[in-house]
């Protein structure tokens, strides 16, 4: 494989906080890269997806517009942005530059007008999920204060899951399918069960 081909593929991974782990995203993306026979340059951020002010993302943008990157691979589209306007503008700019975008767990390859349409729907859903989560948090905080208490956040371990069931489902289902079946986050599934379990 030539160095130009290696340099033309970029992987972008992001988690929202320093305490979260990127390994689940990395494993899924590396499996996809291996299946395609590709090697890539990795860009990693631990920052919110509500805006584009992220060091690795900004470096990725510079490399794209300098013509160094022709394909961007991510775990899910919401890793790029959880803001509808930012997400659509970014994708449109990339597609106009001839950049291919692949979201491996959603099994989507974005290109052309159809890619923009699908992405706009997914970005909108992501933004709605973020707003809904913020509303739930605000309601919970307000309820705690009304009862005369002080809101201290969710207690560690307050969410219980059937770990054995997660491991069993992961034998036949993807991370996202398992999360939907269990009614938990993909992060929880990744924490308790790897594909090899």
The per-residue pLDDT for range 17-66, each reduced to its tens digit, is: 766 788 888 999 999 999 999 999 999 999 888 888 999 999 999 999 99
Q: Please identify which residue in the block is written with the tokens 């997400």.
A: 87
Q: How far apart are CA 127 and CA 132, in angstroms?
A: 9
Choose the final residue of a domain: 121, 147, 180: 121
Choose the final residue of a domain: 105, 121, 137: 121
Averaged pLDDT of the chain: 76
Choose the final residue of a domain: 72, 106, 121: 121
Q: How far apart are CA 89 and CA 114, in angstroms?
A: 15
Domain presence at residue 141: no
Domain presence at residue 131: no
Considering the domain architecture, whether residues 84 and 171 belong to the same structural domain is answered as no
Residues in the chain with pLDDT values less than 70: 1-7, 18-19, 84, 110-145, 147-161, 194-197
- pTM: predicted TM-score of the whole model, two decimal places: 0.57
Residues 166, 175: contact at Cβ < 8 Å?
no
Considering the domain architecture, whether residues 90 and 26 belong to the same structural domain is answered as yes
Considering the domain architecture, whether residues 92 and 45 belong to the same structural domain is answered as yes
| Number of domains into which the chain is organized | 2
Considering the domain architecture, whether residues 28 and 108 belong to the same structural domain is answered as yes
The per-residue pLDDT for range 43-56, each reduced to its tens digit, is: 999 988 888 899 99
- State which residues form the domain around 195: 155-197
pLDDT for the residue 1? 42
Considering the domain architecture, whether residues 53 and 99 belong to the same structural domain is answered as yes
CA 26 remoteness from chain centre: 11
Considering the domain architecture, whether residues 8 and 105 belong to the same structural domain is answered as yes
Q: How far apart are CA 63 and CA 70, in angstroms?
A: 10
pLDDT for the residue 3? 42
Considering the domain architecture, whether residues 107 and 167 belong to the same structural domain is answered as no
Considering the domain architecture, whether residues 106 and 167 belong to the same structural domain is answered as no
pLDDT for the residue 63? 96
Considering the domain architecture, whether residues 72 and 114 belong to the same structural domain is answered as yes
Considering the domain architecture, whether residues 97 and 164 belong to the same structural domain is answered as no
Considering the domain architecture, whether residues 98 and 178 belong to the same structural domain is answered as no
Q: What is the CATH number of the domain that holds 46?
A: 3.40.50.1390
Considering the domain architecture, whether residues 163 and 117 belong to the same structural domain is answered as no
């Amino acid at each position: 494989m030539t160095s130009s081909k290696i340099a033309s593929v970029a992987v972008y991974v992001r988690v929202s906080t320093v305490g979260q782990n990127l390994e689940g995203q990395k494993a899924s993306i590396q499996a996809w890269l291996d299946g395609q026979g590709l090697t890539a340059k990795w860009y990693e951020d631990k920052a919110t997806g509500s805006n584009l002010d992220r060091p690795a993302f900004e470096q990725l943008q510079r490399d794209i517009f300098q013509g160094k990157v022709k394909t961007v691979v991510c775990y899910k589209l919401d890793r790029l942005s959880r803001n509808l306007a930012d997400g659509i503008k970014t994708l449109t700019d990339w597609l106009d530059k001839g950049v291919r975008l692949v979201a491996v767990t959603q099994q989507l390859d974005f290109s052309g007008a159809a890619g923009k349409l699908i992405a706009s729907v997914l970005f909108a859903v992501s933004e709605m999920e973020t707003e809904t989560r913020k509303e739930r948090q605000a309601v919970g905080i307000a309820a705690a204060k009304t009862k005369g208490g002080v809101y201290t956040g969710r207690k560690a371990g307050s969410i219980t899951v059937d770990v054995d069931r997660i491991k069993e489902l992961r034998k036949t289902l993807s991370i996202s399918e398992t999360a939907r079946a269990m009614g938990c986050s993909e992060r929880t599934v990744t924490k308790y069960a790897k594909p090899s379990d």
